[in-house]
Amino acid sequence: MADKEYDCIIVGAGPAGLGAGLYAARDRAKTILLEKFYPGGQINTTDRIENYPGYAKISGPDLTNLMLEQVKSFDGEVKTSAEVTKLSRREDGRIEVACDEDVYVGRVVILTPGSSYRNLGVPGEDAFRQAGAGVSYCGTCDAPFFKDKVVVSVGGGNTAVEETLHLAKYAKKVIMVHRRQEYRATQVLVEELMGKVNAADSNIELRLDATVTAIEGKDRVEQAVIKNVKTDQTETVACDGVFIFVGMVPNTGFLKGFVELTEAGFIKCDTAYLRSNVPGVFVAGDCRIGAAMQLVTAVADGVNAAMWMKQYLRDRTWWDAPLSDSLSPGQW
Ligand SMILES: Cc1cc2nc3c(=O)[nH]c(=O)nc-3n(C[C@H](O)[C@H](O)[C@H](O)COP(=O)(O)OP(=O)(O)OC[C@H]3O[C@@H](n4cnc5c(N)ncnc54)[C@H](O)[C@@H]3O)c2cc1C
C-alpha cells in the first residue's frame, strides 16, 4: 500500500474517532485518524467525567491520553492539525480525503467530526464555561455537581425540557427560562414538565417570554439576569449554575454535497450499522442523526462502525442490504 493509502481513514479524533481507531487498528487494518486540532474533541474541555463506565472520576484530557496511547499501541496513526476539507468517491469505490495539501485514499472512511454546543452569546457565558465555574451545556453530565443548589436552565426544545427534568432530580430549584409561551418540545415532554411544575412540592419555576441576558459572578456563577421580552422588565436571580440548551451545531459544513445531511446538518445514516448514503462511508458520534450526545455512546458508535467496516470490506453488496436482511451483531 502506498504511503497515503489506508484501509480505514477516520475524520476526527474525539471519543468516536478514538473508539473507531482502536478497533480498526487492533484488527490490523492500516488506519489513520485525521484531526483538525488535537485528539480528544469535546471532552478535552472538562476536568470531571463521572459517567464513563470503569472510572469513578476522570478528567477529559487524562481519558483522552489513555485512549490515544491505546490506539497508537496498535499502530494506529494519528495526524493532528490536519483539517479535512473535502471528500469524494473514486470509480474503484475508494474514498479520497483531502486534508491541507495532502490527499489520502481509504477503502473505508469513518466520519466523526462531532458537534458543538450552540452558545447563548451573553456576557459571562465564556468566562464561566470552564468546568466547575457554573456554565454548562449538559445536564446529564453535570446535574450531580449541583445537588441542592439553584440553577437556571435556558431553552424550550426537547433537550431543554428533558435536561430540566433531570436537573430537578438534583437541584434545590430549577428556574427554566424560555423565550416564548409555547414549547418546541413534544407534547408528551411538555405535559411531563407541566405535571412537575404544578405539583405541590415542585422545584421547577418557569419564566416564559424571557431570556437570560447576562451571567454574573466573581470566580464562578452567582446570579443570572433574566429579561421579559414582552415588557423589557429585568430580574436578577441568585443561582449557582446556568445550563444552556439552545441546540447543537454539527461540524459537517465540509461534508455538504458529499453525504446526505439533515436540515440542521446532522449526517443521515442507518442507526443500526451507521452507513451513510455513500458506500464505504460510515458515521459515528455526535455528528449523526439520533446521537445521544454522550461520551460513552460516541465511543460505542466508533467501535460499531469499525466492526461493520469488516462486513463491508468482505462483501460490498452488504451496503445496500435493507436492515431486516442484514447480519445481526456477532453473526459473522
Ligand atoms: C464541557 C463538556 C463536558 C462534557 N462532559 C461530558 C460528560 O461528563 N459525560 C459525557 O458522557 N459526555 C460529556 N460531554 C459530551 C461528550 O464530550 C461528547 O458527546 C463527545 O465528545 C462526542 O464525541 P465525538 O467524537 O462524536 O465528537 P467530538 O468530541 O466533538 O470530537 C470531534 C473531533 O473531530 C474533529 N474535527 C471536526 N471537524 C474536523 C475536520 N473537518 N477535519 C478533522 N477533524 C475534525 C474535532 O476537532 C474534534 O476533535 C461533554 C461535552 C463538553 C463540551
Check pLDDT > 70 for residue 305: yes
Check pLDDT > 70 for residue 252: yes
Residue with cell 477503502: 107
**CA 153 to ligand 1 center in whole angstroms:** 22
Q: Is 153 helix (H, G, I), strand (E, B) or coil?
A: strand
User: What average pLDDT does the segment 250-274 reach?
Assistant: 96
Per-residue model confidence (pLDDT) at position 115: 94
Per-residue model confidence (pLDDT) at position 100: 83
Q: Ligand 1 within 6 A of 34 CB?
A: yes
The DSSP bridge pattern shows strands 102-111 and 281-283 to be parallel
Which of 43, 49, 261 has most ligand 1 atoms within 8 Å of its beta carbon, as the pocket-test mutant?
43
Per-residue model confidence (pLDDT) at position 324: 73
Kindly report the average pLDDT of the chain as a whole number.
94
Per-residue model confidence (pLDDT) at position 323: 82
Per-residue model confidence (pLDDT) at position 317: 93
Give the pLDDT confidence of 109-161 residue by residue, as tens digits.
Answer: 999 999 999 999 999 999 999 878 999 999 988 999 999 999 999 999 999 99
Nearest CA to ligand 1 atom 2: 46
**CA 201 to ligand 1 center in whole angstroms:** 37
* Confidence class for position 275, pLDDT limits 50, 70, 90: very high
Give the pLDDT confidence of 204-218 residue by residue, as tens digits.
Answer: 999 999 999 999 999
Q: Ligand 1 within 6 A of 17 CB?
A: yes
Which of 79, 295, 299 has most ligand 1 atoms within 8 Å of its beta carbon, as the pocket-test mutant?
295
In the chain, % of residues over pLDDT 70: 97
Give the pLDDT confidence of 22-49 residue by residue, as tens digits.
Answer: 999 999 999 999 999 999 999 987 888 9
Per-residue model confidence (pLDDT) at position 230: 97
Per-residue model confidence (pLDDT) at position 326: 67
Sheet holding 241-244, edge to edge: 135-136, 241-244, 150-154, 173-177, 204-207
Per-residue model confidence (pLDDT) at position 130: 80
Check pLDDT > 90 for residue 266: yes
User: What average pLDDT does the segment 93-121 reach?
Assistant: 95
Check pLDDT > 80 for residue 278: yes
* Confidence class for position 328, pLDDT limits 50, 70, 90: low
Give the pLDDT confidence of 60-93 residue by residue, as tens digits.
Answer: 999 999 999 999 999 999 999 999 999 999 999 9
Per-residue model confidence (pLDDT) at position 329: 54
Which amino acid is residue 52, in one-letter code?
A: Y
Check pLDDT > 80 for residue 11: yes
DSSP secondary structure, 204-263, as one string = EEEE-SEEEEEEEESSSEEEEEEEETTT--EEEEE-SEEEE-S-EEES-GGGTTTS-B-T
Check pLDDT > 80 for residue 1: no
Q: Residue 81: what are its φ and ψ, rounded to 5°?
A: 50, 40
**CA 34 to ligand 1 center in whole angstroms:** 14
* Confidence class for position 331, pLDDT limits 50, 70, 90: low
Per-residue model confidence (pLDDT) at position 330: 56
Which has more confidence, 329 or 237? 237
Q: Are 141 and 46 in contact (CB under 8 A)?
A: yes
Domains defined for the chain, CATH in brackets: 5-116+248-325 (3.50.50.60), 119-244 (3.50.50.60)
Check pLDDT > 70 for residue 327: no
Check pLDDT > 60 for residue 332: no
| DSSP-assigned letter for residue 98 | E
Q: Please name which of 38, 110, 163, 87 lies closest in space to residue 308, comparing C-alpha atoms.
A: 110
Q: Ligand 1 within 6 A of 154 CB?
A: no
